[in-house]
Amino acid sequence: MARVQIVGAGVAGFTLTRELIQRGYRGEIVLCDPQGLPYDRPPLSKALRREHFMPASWYAEHGVHLRTEAINDPALPEAADEWLVLATGSRAKKLTVPGAEHALSLHTADEAELIARRLDQGMFAMPVAVIGAGLVGAEFASAARQAGAQVTLFSASSAPLARVLGEEMARELHAAHRRNGVACVDAAVTEVGPDYVVAAGQRHEAALIVAAVGAEADTTVAEGLGLAVDDGILVDDAQRVIGQRQVLAIGDAARRVDHPRAVHWEAAMDDAAIAAAVITGQPAPSRKIDWFWSDRHDAHVEVVGDFSRASSHISRLGRRGNLEAVFGLDSAGNLVAASMVDGGLLSKALRRLMDAGVSPTAEQLADPSVGPRELAKAGRS
Ligand SMILES: Cc1cc2nc3c(=O)[nH]c(=O)nc-3n(C[C@H](O)[C@H](O)[C@H](O)COP(=O)(O)OP(=O)(O)OC[C@H]3O[C@@H](n4cnc5c(N)ncnc54)[C@H](O)[C@@H]3O)c2cc1C
């Protein structure tokens, strides 16, 4: 019988399941994850809350076999209508300083719920140390501050995420922590204790310590199967694992050959839609330009494209002198990346332009009177 076995039920594994159903796939779908009913990760660091994609009844209704178990050595498909899809995602990197075991990690729903309980049980203005000011660390620092904690954020850099947001935006957003009552220590943490953190030789008291020092692809299953792995399971443009016909890899765990590994929600959804098309033999949707968002304090931050491809930047200031957007241009002057604060319409216009391979001019990008609608038109002229 035709069968798809999906290992991992994060947004990639879940979206593949939904896409297969929507595309009328008639075979058996087996979705396995030891974490149980699939849930969405972004709300974990913003609200410390578990949000399921669908209730258990949805899977039953559509005949999906949802298995709460880890599959560590799945069989490689033998028949022409059998597929194995690895959607094993990423896992939190470990802090490696003395006493690191005293810091909690924030990557799974169980970890988010444990941290939420500790915050609830703590006194008002509980001293909280957050180690790492990347996307997850910055969002959690903001959520803890909003919950009334006295937060100290430790970052080895004063512009964390510069390669992701563009240097100017990274600096601005990091500085915004201080304006929102978060104490920032821009120095590497060298030691952690049960109720303290040491950085730059200074000891900082903390009743709760959370480490968010990045994530890495979880390739354990792929490596066990002897599949091609290099900072992610190596796949082609159709998400096929290199050298395999019926083994696909999607989401954070996968990396397309000659591309950086995409580690965002939207990219995982794109991978899943392409994989579903491959399995059902339908035309694959085109891959969209990279896009992700992050919420911290009162700012909704969006990033389109890839700043690692930019050789120069243009900043756009708002009427009050605030930094609204940073644009990254390649050496030929084409727009390859943009980061913006509360710029929903701008982000939409730029995504559309970049998906179409069209670039506004540097002058248009620099001119704050050229709004999203004009930019979209400008790009066409
Ligand atoms: C706290 C947090 C906040 C985030 N916020 C944002 C955001 O605001 N915007 C954004 O764009 N992105 C955000 N991300 C990133 C985004 O969530 C990921 O890019 C996305 O989850 C990737 O989906 P995935 O399905 O590939 O992997 P994952 O979500 O990591 O899911 C992989 C699943 O595979 C399972 N698994 C692993 N090994 C096995 C095995 N052997 N057998 C069975 N199952 C297995 C794991 O249990 C896990 O559930 C955030 C991530 C985190 C951790």
Structure confidence by residue, pLDDT tens digits, 67-91: 999 999 999 999 999 999 999 999 9
**Domain residue limits, the chain:** 3-91+215-280, 94-211, 298-380
If one residue of 88, 139, 140 were mutated to test the ligand 1 pocket, choosing by the most ligand atoms within 8 A of its CB, it would be 88
Torsion of CA 249, 254, 257, 261, to 10 degrees: 160
CATH class of the structural domain 298-380: alpha beta
Question: Do 3-91+215-280 and 298-380 agree at the fold level?
Answer: no
> Is residue 362 within a helix (H) or strand (E), and if so which, with residue range?
helix 362-366
User: What confidence score (pLDDT) does residue 121 get?
Assistant: 87
Residues with CB under 6 Å of ligand 1 are: 7-13, 32-35, 41-42, 44-45, 70-72, 87-90, 106-107, 136, 218, 221, 251-253, 263-266, 268, 292-294
How far apart, in whole angstroms, are the C-alpha atoms of residue 242 and residue 228?
A: 6
For the chain, residues with pLDDT lower than 50 are 380-381
CATH no. of 94-211: 3.50.50.60
pLDDT of res. 379: 57
> Can you tell me the distance from the alpha carbon of 94 to that of 273, in angstroms, rounded to the nearest whole number?
32
Residue 124 Cα to ligand 1 midpoint, Å, equals 32
11 Cα–ligand 1 center, Å: 7
CA torsion, points 116, 122, 127, 132, in degrees to nearest 10? -10
Q: Which residue in the block uniquely carries the two structure tokens 């919950």?
A: 147
- Measure the CA dihedral 179/180/183/185, to 10°: -70
Which residue owns the Cα nearest ligand 1 atom 4?
42
The CATH homologous superfamily to which domain 3-91+215-280 belongs is FAD/NAD(P)-binding domain (3.50.50.60)
Q: What pLDDT is recorded for position 374? A: 87
In order of 54, 83, 125, 247, 306, the CA distances from 64 in angstroms are: 12, 15, 46, 19, 36
118-175 tens-digit pLDDT: 998 887 889 999 999 999 999 999 999 999 999 999 999 888 999 999 999 999 999 9
